[in-house]
Amino acid sequence: MSATELAPAAPAVGTDPIIEVSNLTMRFRSKRSETVALDDVSLTVRAGEFVTIAGPSGCGKSTLLKIVAGLTIASEGDVRLYGQRVTRPQRDIGFAFQRSALLEWRGVRKNILLQAEMRGLDKRYAQRRADELIELTGLTGFEKALPHELSGGMQQRVALCRALLHEPRVLLMDEPFGALDALTREQMNIEMNRIWRETGTTIVLVTHSVPEAVYLGSRIVVMSPRPGRIVETLTPGLPERRDYGPTLADPRFARAAGRIRDLLGATHAPD
């Protein structure tokens, strides 16, 4: 794995490794065949980083995230979270899935508080934390709204609040904005940059989108088509605060996006 330094790194991050992935291989076997989803993947994520993982469909991005979360066990290799080997689902992380998966009969606040009920959190703490997150994500005034009364972007904000309710040090995001329209996706990217800056949460996000990977990432991991391998890691060197228009016009953004597209190839480059 090589690393391309496009410019001096912008956000300061901790020196302690939070996530350590070593020589990870994942095979899926059936009666007739074997598919290698990931091949010898190694990656370290440090405290306070926002790492984006870009790659084509089927390259194992989502599988990698699920292995880090302990939702899937790798065929070979080792994963450590906070220095401890991952062998089962991890309760002290947040996970935002591709779909919001809200309960249709519960309003915004009650959907967020479902996390507290499942974890047995103190009710007063959970209610106070839910109110903070509702304000942070611009959902004030919609506390009792049901999912069908919300836009797709607002539903994803609720799911994000739910994932952040217990104040995890690590948030894993599995293409949570992929189903949104372009404008809403841009707004959610702006929101995520702000949340990252204000909370200091370590975030790993997988995406098909090159612009999303560059806009959000303090570091960008580029993966090959299946079997998924890390082909290069880029540091775009953009400032920590990223206003959308100026960031997209920044030459550093263009260089990073161009490099990712070159690595993926014209037939594999995400939109």
If asked whether residues 178 and 244 sit together in one domain, one would say yes
If asked whether residues 64 and 108 sit together in one domain, one would say no
Domain stop point among 126, 152, 167: 167
pLDDT at 188: 86
If asked whether residues 208 and 76 sit together in one domain, one would say yes
pLDDT band at 223 (very low <50, low <70, confident <90, very high): very high
**Average pLDDT for 166-173:** 91
Domain stop point among 134, 150, 167: 167
Domain stop point among 122, 150, 167: 167
If asked whether residues 154 and 232 sit together in one domain, one would say no
Domains in the chain: how many in total?
2
CA distances from 142 to 126, 138, 151, 168, 260 (A): 18, 9, 11, 24, 39
Is 271 part of a structural domain of the chain? no
pLDDT at 253: 96
If asked whether residues 82 and 139 sit together in one domain, one would say no
Residue 171, classed as helix, strand or coil, is strand
If asked whether residues 57 and 184 sit together in one domain, one would say yes
pLDDT in tens, 22-49: 999 999 887 788 888 999 999 999 999 9
CA distance 22 to 19: 10
If asked whether residues 22 and 55 sit together in one domain, one would say yes
pLDDT at 191: 87
Instruction: State whether the Cα torsion 42-191-240-197 is positive or negative.
Output: negative
CA distance 192 to 87: 29
pLDDT at 110: 94
6 or 228: which leads in pLDDT: 228
Is 24 part of a structural domain of the chain? yes
* String of DSSP letters for 19-64: EEEEEEEEEEE-SS-EEEEEEEEEEEEETT-EEEEE--TTSSHHHH
pLDDT band at 269 (very low <50, low <70, confident <90, very high): very low
Find the domain containing 15 and state its range: 2-93+168-264
Token couple for 271: 């939109």
pLDDT band at 13 (very low <50, low <70, confident <90, very high): low
CATH assignment at residue 59:
3.40.50.300
Is 98 part of a structural domain of the chain? no
**Average pLDDT for 154-161:** 90
Is 120 part of a structural domain of the chain? yes
Say yes or no to pLDDT of 225 above 60. Answer: yes
pLDDT in tens, 105-118: 999 999 999 989 98
Instruction: State whether the Cα torsion 234-66-160-45 is positive or negative.
Output: negative
Average pLDDT, the chain: 88
If asked whether residues 26 and 85 sit together in one domain, one would say yes
pLDDT at 26: 93
pLDDT band at 153 (very low <50, low <70, confident <90, very high): confident
Residue 99, classed as helix, strand or coil, is coil
Is 74 part of a structural domain of the chain? yes
pLDDT band at 271 (very low <50, low <70, confident <90, very high): low
Is 18 part of a structural domain of the chain? yes
Cβ atoms of 84 and 48 closer than 8 Å: no
Is 270 part of a structural domain of the chain? no
If asked whether residues 125 and 158 sit together in one domain, one would say yes
If asked whether residues 254 and 159 sit together in one domain, one would say no
Is 39 part of a structural domain of the chain? yes
Cβ atoms of 108 and 150 closer than 8 Å: yes
If asked whether residues 33 and 75 sit together in one domain, one would say yes
Q: Which of 54-58, 76-80, 82-86, 236-240 has the lowest average pLDDT?
A: 54-58
If asked whether residues 56 and 152 sit together in one domain, one would say no
**Average pLDDT for 129-139:** 89
pLDDT in tens, 42-77: 999 999 999 999 998 888 899 999 999 999 999 999
